[in-house]
Amino acid sequence: MTPALWGGRFEGELDAHFASFNRSLGFDARLLEQDVAGSRAWAAALARAGVLTADERDEIDRGLRAVLDQASARPDMAANSPAEDVHSFVEDALRGQVGELAGKLHTGRSRNDQVATDLRMHLSVLGGELVAGVEHLVEALVELAEETAALPIPGYTHLQRAQPLTVGHHLLAYVEMLSRDRGRLVDALERMDECPLGSGALAGTAFPIDREALAARLGFARVTHNSLDAVSDRDFACELLFAASLAMVHLSRFAEDWIFFATQEAGFLTLSDAVATGSSLMPQKKNPDALELVRGKCGRVIGDLQGLLVTLKGLPLAYDKDLQEDKEALFDGLDTLRACLRVTATTVRSARFDADRCRAEASRGYLNATDLADLLVAHGVPFREAHERTGKAVRDALELGVELEELPAHVLATTCGDLEVDLAAELSVDRVLARRASIGGTSPDRVAREVERWKDRLASWES
Ligand code: ARG
């Protein structure tokens, strides 16, 4: 049995059930690398403050490096340890290396400032991976948008066919969302970049620690300036989980659009076998499981955020053990986003649009009705009246079972008069698309320009 960290005041043993209830090592062992780095920096800071001799510091440093090497080589070492959390695990293992000298390391430090520091360091790595994951997906979407900048597809509002779009334009809508997600992550990571170590349990450390040097050694941009806030603040966790939740909402909406595109009813898109599954019963089925899981996991990440916010609400300053509940939500939410970004990028890279079908479906069903009304407007008809007349023309076309541009001239004349234009050309899907060329529009030229803009953005993100 490892000695409890607080032996002196206590006579009794921990209840076995409580001990396992209290234990976080199962989910905080992933902070090991950061805990060792933080401890090495703390030992150096203690030596500079005159608490450790140079020899003691070097011996502790050697011991900590050995702990990390051993635990990395044998992941079961932490799993099998009876230690309460990663911090006590590292201290126990250090004792195995350097004996009682290990007891000097915790001078002036608390697990409260320790865990806040470890967590920020760990999240800075994980957050960087999320930013890279978003960039990867953006790259995949932009590449596909370049190939499909001129490919027509029906656009929907209320899930009713509305006006033609280019596939590239639809893809770049998600690029806009993901770029905002990236911005939110980068922003949260920047705000998180402050080192709490040296805040002690709640009131600051009583030893002359150079906190700025300590922060710099650990790679932080700044130090925290209020010890009470520093040990109890989990804003960074909430901010990252919110950024992750909103990114998941975007991925979920994308998944829904593509699940629909891949139905036999729409038939716009074929998903690769690599990201679909079959049915155990129905031999003909091909199911979009990857996208459905992305859509489904969105709820779970939002739940992680919700859970953490409710945990924090009403917590008195400073540290409370409730805060140990931050980690599972945080890791689950961020790991989930990371996995979803990856599988979505694979889905995008391997999908194939059916160009003939997309074009054919965008070219029928009166998606050009607005453009007929606009032609009337060009003849001086007020838009409201043009709308009314075009609506009647649509009714005539429905009755005859033809498209607007196929209406016999004498029938069209009853609602629209003589428009004196080549209606087939003016209402063709390519003309309809080409007209929407102003900034933000769906025309192939505009989308091609937006693709170039996004390529520049991607290059600037890389540097
Ligand atoms: N395992 C704890 C956590 O994750 C570490 C801090 C414990 N501090 C304490 N005073 N019991 O929050």
Q: How confident is the model at residue 8 (pLDDT cuts 50, 70, 90)?
A: confident
Which range among 3-7, 116-120, 202-206 shows the weakest confidence by mean pLDDT? 3-7
Closest-CA residue, ligand 1 atom 7, reads: 111
pLDDT of residue 439 exceeding 80: yes
Residue 2: the pLDDT is 52
Which of 17, 158, 280, 438 is catalytic? The answer is 158
Alpha-carbon distances of 262 from 117, 149, 163, 270, 429, rounded to whole Å: 46, 19, 20, 6, 22
Q: Does any ligand 1 atom lie closer than 6 A to the CB of residue 324?
A: yes
- The enclosing H or E element of 352 equals strand 352-353
Q: Is 446 in the pocket of ligand 1 (CB under 6 A)?
A: no
Quote the pLDDT of residue 452.
98
326 CA distance to ligand 1 middle (Å): 11
3-state SS class at 283: coil
80 alpha carbon – ligand 1 mean position (Å) = 20
Helix (H) or strand (E) segment spanning residue 135 = helix 111-147
Tokens in use for 14?
A: 């921990």
Per-residue pLDDT for 4 more than 90?
no
Choice from 88, 110, 111 to test ligand 1 binding pocket (greatest atom count within 8 A of CB):
111
| pLDDT, tens only, 144-170 | 999 999 999 999 999 999 999 999 999
- 7 pLDDT band, cuts 50/70/90, is confident
Distances 113 to 3, 15, 222 between C-alpha atoms, Å: 22, 27, 15
Pairing of strands 222-223, 194-195: parallel
Query: Residue 5's pLDDT band (boundaries 50, 70, 90)?
Result: confident
Determine whether the shortest distance from the Cβ of 112 to ligand 1 is under 6 A.
yes
Contact 238, 305 (CB under 8 A): yes
Q: What is the pLDDT of residue 43?
A: 98
Q: Kindly state if the Cβ of 111 falls inside 6 Å of ligand 1.
A: yes
CA of 104 to the centre of ligand 1 (A): 19
- pLDDT at position 193 is 98
**Exposed, middle or buried, 272 (CB in 10 Å: 0-12/13-18/19+)?**
middle
Residue 413: pLDDT band with limits 50, 70, 90 = very high
- Whether 102 has a pLDDT exceeding 80, the answer reads yes
Q: What is the pLDDT of residues 333-349, one digit of tens each?
A: 999 999 999 999 999 99
Q: Kindly state the average pLDDT of the residues 256-270.
A: 97
What pLDDT score was predicted for residue 418?
85
pLDDT surpasses 50 at 252: yes
DSSP string, 284-341: T--B-HHHHHHHHHHHHHHHHHHHHHHHHTTPPSS--GGGGGHHHHHHHHHHHHHHHH
Q: What is the average pLDDT across 88-98?
A: 97
pLDDT of 10 reads 83
pLDDT band per the 50, 70, 90 thresholds, residue 461: very high
Residue with the smallest CA separation from ligand 1 atom 12 is 324
Q: What is the DSSP letter of 242?
A: H
- In the reported structure, the alpha carbon of residue 319 is separated from the centroid of ligand 1 by a whole-number distance in angstroms of 8
In the reported structure, the alpha carbon of residue 302 is separated from the centroid of ligand 1 by a whole-number distance in angstroms of 25
Please tell me the distance from the alpha carbon of residue 381 to that of residue 394, in angstroms, as a whole number: 17
Query: Which residues touch 169 (CB under 8 Å, ≥6 apart)?
Result: 145, 441, 442, 446, 447
Q: What is the mean pLDDT of the chain?
A: 96
- Which amino acid type is present at position 161? R
Q: What integer pLDDT is reported at residue 3 of this predicted model? A: 54
Across residues 271-298, what is the average pLDDT? 92
pLDDT digits (tens, 9 = 90+) for 33-84: 999 999 999 999 999 999 999 999 999 999 999 999 999 999 889 888 999 9
pLDDT digits (tens, 9 = 90+) for 321-332: 999 999 999 999
- Tell me if residue 170 is catalytic: no
Question: Region 370-377: what's the mean pLDDT?
Answer: 95
On the question of pLDDT at 6 being above 80, the answer is no
Angstrom distance (rounded) from CA 379 to CA 265 = 38
Confidence of residue 279 (pLDDT cuts 50, 70, 90): confident
Cα–Cα distance measured from residue 373 to residue 381, given in angstroms and rounded to the nearest whole number? 9
Instruction: Note the pLDDT of residue 11.
Output: 80
Instruction: Kindly tell me if the per-residue pLDDT of 386 is higher than 60.
Output: yes
Q: What is the predicted pLDDT for the residue at 1? A: 44
Taking CA atoms only, the protein residue closest to ligand 1 atom 3 is 324
Give all domains of the chain, ordered by start, each with its CATH number. Answer: 22-107 (1.10.275.10), 112-146+167-353 (1.20.200.10), 361-462 (1.10.40.30)
* pTM, entire model: 0.95
Helix (H) / strand (E) element for 268: namely: none
Max intra-chain CA distance, the chain: 102
Check if 115 has its Cβ closer than 6 Å to any atom of ligand 1.
yes
Angle at 167 between CA 134 and CA 149, to 5 degrees: 90
Identified catalytic residue from 20, 72, 225, 279? 279
Q: Which atom of ligand 1 is nearest to the CA of 28?
A: 4
Best probe residue, ligand 1, of 324, 325, 330 (max atoms within 8 Å of C-beta): 324
Active site residue 158: yes
CA–CA separation, 39 vs 55, rounded Å?
16
- Find tokens 């428009």 and name the residue: 419
